[in-house]
Structure 1
Amino acid sequence: MQNETKNASDDLEPLVDAAGTTHEAVAAGEARIVSLVPSLTELLCDLGLAPQLVGRTGFCIHPREVVRSIPKVGGTKDVRLDRLRELAPTHVVLNIDENTRDTAQALVDVVPHVIVTHPCAPEDNAALYSLFGGIFGREQEAARLSSGLADALTEAASLRVRVEEERVLYLIWREPWMTVSHQTYIASMLERVGWICLPDVHEPRYPSFEWDAEWLTDVQRVFLSSEPYRFRERHLGEVSSLSGRPASLINGEMVSWYGSRAIAGLRYLTALRAELAGLPATVPALPRV
């Protein structure tokens, strides 16, 4: 009878990226991948796809020993399209926030498959794992990461009910002083352990501010991130004096990197939240900076 034969792939969810583009699954060994996003480079390696990575940006530094031998194609916002073209990739992965629209548009004429990502919250990483796992034939590895993410989210939620919400200022730059808005992935990560970012704005995403701003009176704690500006111990006294609040260094990679790093990042924040609240840590603490 007609139409009774059904392929196994018919039951699979379509592989749709953040730009709404549907992608076909390919055998991992047949893909030549360039990653223009540090977090995604790390994720691709954790999915077992390092042998298929033929290009990266200079900011793609993890895992260090693996990426060292992968050619660079410039930065996240100044991609060398000529160099990228020489590498003959079948796929390029990028991110709406970290790469420019001009780069994305130029890549359409250079590369057969452009995969666009845009995780806005830690939960979004599960879909990211599935997308890459489905496209590049790494479904089992993606499922393993999704399980780890679910566990880390559960651990964070378990801690959050044991602590009171705390309003925080998360510093990312100095001269001018800059922080993050509620629309950012960073703010979403912090919120999972009960740290609420101020100011309470959605735009701009990374606002600058002066220390006499009225909303600063509601801040209870200040974090100095290790990236993009590398705050160090010597800045703590300055910030404590300016803010009149407790100030701590925080590992920016653990808070802002998505992909597979989100799992370690959530556990890092859970341990740090417990430590600063004077509670026993439910997961091992990780390096702050």
Structure 2
Amino acid sequence: MGSDPDGTPRVVSLVPSVTETLLAWGVTPVACTRFCEQPDIAHVGGTKNPDVAAVVALRPDLVVMEREENRLDDHAALEAAGVATEVLHVTSLDDVGPETARLAARLAELGAALSPDAGTALASGPAPTGRGVRTPGVVAFVPIWRRPWMTVNRHTYGASLLARLGVTVAFADEPQRYPEVTARRIAAAAPDVVLAPTEPYPFKPRHLAELEQFAPAHLVDGRDLFWWGARTPAALRRLAVELDEMEPGR
């Protein structure tokens, strides 16, 4: 709609992991969501309730969205206002390279001066180093919500990340990607470990005692588990080290 005077495209990111990735590429969005952890960038609401009018008023060249994190209604409203969008969809490690490459190509078309490896560093799928790859068979319960308990099945980015490290999520074969499960079912699944992420539910040390009823419980950085993009290679390495320290299944 209108690049800045220096030719830099005006980009709005409605996806926290995309905001982080753009900054790693040397592209500073003109706005992002309040969940993006960037206090110096204007905020335009949340991922599920962005201020569409505020986004339109910024006259962005591109708004980046994600099929699951953002709502179809907001996408439709932006399109109706004549705002260009790029909708990404990542459900596994294998998606990260192609989707980030597609975003990098779109930004390059708009004249963004990207870092040399933008969109290519992840194309081959990063591999962990060290002792992080364990014999498949370790089962982890990964709660993403509490009261009721909710978790992830195998067709999610977080589960794919753990699978690369030799860990299978409990309830991997559930038909829903984010199933609700009871305490009785969790206990029956007999996980080797509970990995309690700090988001989307803000699990904290005080919650670990409750989770210990199922298996030894550990906090993990929810961003490392669920934010894909520039974070992915380092997240794999960090999680590999953390799993080694937990020693589940050894």
TM bucket (normalised to shorter chain) is 0.7 to 0.9
Q: Please provide the CA RMSD for this pair.
A: 2.4
User: What one-letter code is carried by the residue in structure 2 that aligns with 1:220?
Assistant: D
Distance (whole Å) between structure 2 residues aligned to residue 176 and residue 277 of structure 1: 28
What SS is found at the alignment partner of 2:149?
A: coil
Residue equivalent to 1:239: 211
Structure 1 residues 111, 68: CA separation in 2 closer, same or farther (over 3 Å shift)? farther
Distance 1:232 1:30 in 2: 40
Correspondence 1:148-187 to 2 at 5 A? 150=125, 152-153=126-127, 155=129, 159-160=132-133, 162-187=134-159
Indicate the residue corresponding to 2:245 in structure 1.
275
1:132 corresponding residue in structure 2: 103
1:44 pairs with 2:22: yes
SS of the residue corresponding to residue 201 of structure 2 reads coil
Q: Which structure: larger Rg?
A: 1
Structure 1 residues 187 and 57, CA gap change in structure 2 (3 angstroms):
same
C-alpha distance after superposition, 1:40-79 (max 9, x if no partner): 01111111111xx111111111xxxxx3222111111111
SS at match of 2:30: strand
Higher relative contact order (CA 8 A, sep 6+): 2
Q: Secondary structure at the match of 2:63?
A: strand
Deviation (angstroms), 1:154: 5.1
Counterpart of 2:3 in structure 1 is none
Give the CA deviation at 1:93.
0.3
Partner of 1:123: 94
Match in the other structure for 1:81: 52
Give me the whole-angstrom Cα distance separating, in 2, the residues matched to 1:232 and 1:95.
27
The yes-or-no answer on 1:250 pairing with 2:226 is: no
More helix by share: 1
Q: How does 1:163-242 map to 2 (within 5 A)?
A: 163-213=135-185, 216-240=188-212, 242=213
Q: What is the alpha-carbon distance in structure 2 between the residues aligned to residue 143 and residue 228 of structure 1?
A: 26
Give the CA deviation at 1:144. Answer: 6.1
Aligned to 1:146: 122
CA-to-aligned-CA distance 1:78-118 (integer Å, 9 cap, x gap): 11111111101010000001001111111112244210100
The number of residues matched between the two structures is 239
Q: Which consecutive aligned stretches of 4+ in structure 1 deviate over 3 angstroms post-superposition?
A: none
In the alignment, structure 1 residue 58 sits paired with structure 2 residue 34 = yes
Using structure 2 for the length normalisation, give the TM-score.
Answer: 0.86
Structure 2 residue runs of 5 or longer lacking an equivalent are: 1-5, 109-113
Distance 2:175 2:99 in 1: 25
CA distance in 2, matches of 1:87, 1:213: 48
Q: Could you tell me the TM-score, scaled by structure 1's length?
A: 0.75
**Consecutive unaligned residues in structure 1, runs of 5 or more:** 1-27, 62-66, 279-289
